[in-house]
Structure 1
């Protein structure tokens, strides 16, 4: 190789490295600026940048997506300093040291399910098709579930179609679609071509789960069994269930006057009695709520300009909603680091 040619190539390499470094710096600055501009008063407080595998601050944290970036705040002071990583997700949830991240589609690729370990590193990556919509992880971190829209883009419409899958991170078993499970309604096997399943929430035994099944215009809460591959209906007009930490109640949304076009109300269902309690949030909530503890549920609520905020409300129907994290969605409680 002659001298001038080698020098030119070295110069090009150096310039490319400088350009990439500049782009990375710009991305971090924009992430911070976007996070700050999401609140009505122009800021959330301090923003701390971190890599996805950076050590998490001590104490219980509330994980959220801040402008699509995996982030955490102090659970006791959710309006305080926000630690923002570079991991981008459309939906995310963490439990038992496992994070499920549904990534947005790229210019030349579809969305993916990223399964992250406690260190923030990707343990598994699964290509998906559709628009990311819901994801959940079992309490011990073993089971991961996700839902995507594969036709239509709203639960309010009659023409939507979903695809919901489950991954056992311990065995590696992948269930690509829960629509392959056998559905039982009122004790009898139910068959239909229009069955859709979405919004999984896991029980403590890593085998049972709850979800929504839609068919013939009826949306029902079902109890699922992974090993038996069955779905059994429990109650109608129950969508996007979320099981309480004590396993006794389901937080859910239900259509106003059974008409999704009128919006949804948040309620809680007692699994033993099937008694329903409407919560104090009277605005329409199109989200799968998350329990902060046995007394409080959190959820995303979208403003008129499209910005999401995380809110909380008592689970017994008393009190009133309160803002938890501005400019964020996908809440999940992270226990203290041991």
Structure 2
């Protein structure tokens, strides 16, 4: 064997070892963060995705995380068969939600020197209705049950909820009048019965009850609260402490949320809980891994949420009443919505 041939074989072997080592480290890191190895990519085909009623029943629509040309596009599967072949279509979204034929897609727009972001309002056929420039990195999105109101949250400082050194901006848009409430931090806040105003106030994670009332997270002074919001009166009123990224159940009686639990690592401090709005009783779910997401109610009994996975994110499900155990819902998926 010639010296050149030996050198080529040596370089190839080194490249293989480096690649294998990188794969091992990345996957070990994902599992350490609560992730799961899910194996082969889910089957997919290009087709039509709609946010309106479907002849085959309810659909789960989400951001596809499969590596390749379909990554970040919207994908749909039957809600009762989430592991079946998914249908993938444009547009590309970082965050997504939909209800009653209205969709919100938070996108990255790639520029020559830097990226910027925008919120795109979609109709039932995924056609753009209007778009709005964003002040930072997209993180949360929700549509009201009627499809009229849309909300989104972005990071304008920092890029994680884990610490305290971050700043958010949350916007509500009325898709009938195209009126924009650009920053919910301008609302009048009542905290534990008293007027409240502070420079470090942050509001994020809107979840709608109807076209006026919503819930969200209020943060200030190193604490967080669940707040009841009024989009007409422009008020926020605290209801319960230590609540982040709330999600209202379809029957309007409970809130699923991230709760910071003492003793957990600073970069992974949350567990998934459910709050009864009538009694304010808290129920921990059976999901014991840290969960940094705004959970979605698949129905009045079951929660869906994202955890790290092979492709970056997988969707999991767990009963909302604290029973059962977590189960994989859809691999390589993020930012889901139930379309009925």
Q: TM-score, normalised by structure 1?
A: 0.84
- After the TM superposition, which of the residue ranges 253-262 and 322-331 deviates more from structure 2? 253-262
Superimposed CA distance per residue, residues 203-244 of structure 1 (whole angstroms, 9 cap, x where no aligned partner):
13x101000010000011000011111100001100000000
Show the counterpart of 1:245.
Answer: 250
Could you tell me which of 284, 294, 309 is aligned with 2:300?
Answer: 294
Hey, what does 1:198 align to over in structure 2? 204
Is the CA contact (8 Å cut-off) linking 2:41 and 2:332 kept in structure 1?
no
Q: State the alpha-carbon separation in 2 of the partners of residues 114 and 299 from structure 1.
A: 23
The alpha-carbon distance between structure 1 residues 75 and 194, as it changes in their structure 2 partners (threshold 3 A), is same
1:81 aligns with 2:85: yes
Aligned 8 A contact 1:39 1:327 in 2? no
Count of aligned pairs = 295
Taking CA–CA contacts closer than 8 Å with sequence separation of 6 or more, which of the two structures ends up with the larger relative contact order?
A: 2
Match of 1:28 in 2: none
SS across alignment from 1:179: helix
> Does the 8 Å CA contact 2:314/2:332 hold for their aligned counterparts?
yes
Given that 1:62 and 1:331 are in contact with CA atoms closer than 8 Å, whether structure 2 keeps it comes out as: yes
- Aligned position for 1:278: 284
Matched-pair contact (CA < 8 Å) for 1:74–1:81: no
User: Which residue, 309, 313, 336 being the options, matches 1:331?
Assistant: 336
Alignment of 1:58 with 2:65, yes or no, is no
2:212 maps to 207
- The Cα of 1:142 is off from its aligned counterpart by 0.4
Match of 2:228 in 1: 223
Partner of 1:29: none
Give the conservation status (yes or no) of the 8 Å contact 1:300–1:311: yes
Conserved? CA contact 1:39–1:326, under 8 Å: no
Q: Where do residues 5-44 of structure 1 align in structure 2 (5 Å cutoff)?
A: 40-44=38-42
After TM superposition, the structure 1 stretch with the greater mean CA deviation from structure 2, 249-258 or 136-145, is 249-258
User: What root-mean-square deviation, in Å, do the aligned CA atoms of Structure 1 and Structure 2 show?
Assistant: 1.8
Q: Is the 8 A contact 1:52 1:87 kept in 2?
A: no
In the TM superposition, what whole-angstrom CA distance separates every residue of 1:250-309 from its partner, at most 9, and x where no partner exists? 000111218754421000000000000000000000000000000001001113x66200
- Within the candidate set 170, 174, 180, 2:180 is matched to 174
| Matching residue within 56, 71, 74 for 1:70 | 74
Using the TM superposition, give the Cα deviation of residue 86 of structure 1 relative to its aligned residue in structure 2, in angstroms. 2.3
Identify the match of residue 102 of structure 1 among 89, 103, 106.
106
d(CA) in 2 for partners of 1:89, 1:116:
11
Q: CA deviation at 1:170?
A: 1.1
Q: Distance in 1 between matches of 2:42 and 2:327?
A: 15
Deviation track 1:53-87 (CA, whole Å, cap 9, x = no partner) reads: 69966321111110211111111110001001121
Asked if 1:157 corresponds to 2:163, the answer is yes
Q: Structure 2 CA distance, aligned partners of 1:147 and 1:230?
A: 18
For 1:112-139, what per-residue CA distance to the aligned partner results, in whole angstroms no more than 9, with x for missing partners?
1111011211111111121110000001
Please tell me whether the aligned partners of residues 48 and 87 of structure 2 are also in contact (alpha carbons under 8 angstroms).
no
Give unpaired runs (5+ residues) of structure 2: 1-35, 66-71
1:110 is paired with a residue of what secondary structure?
A: strand
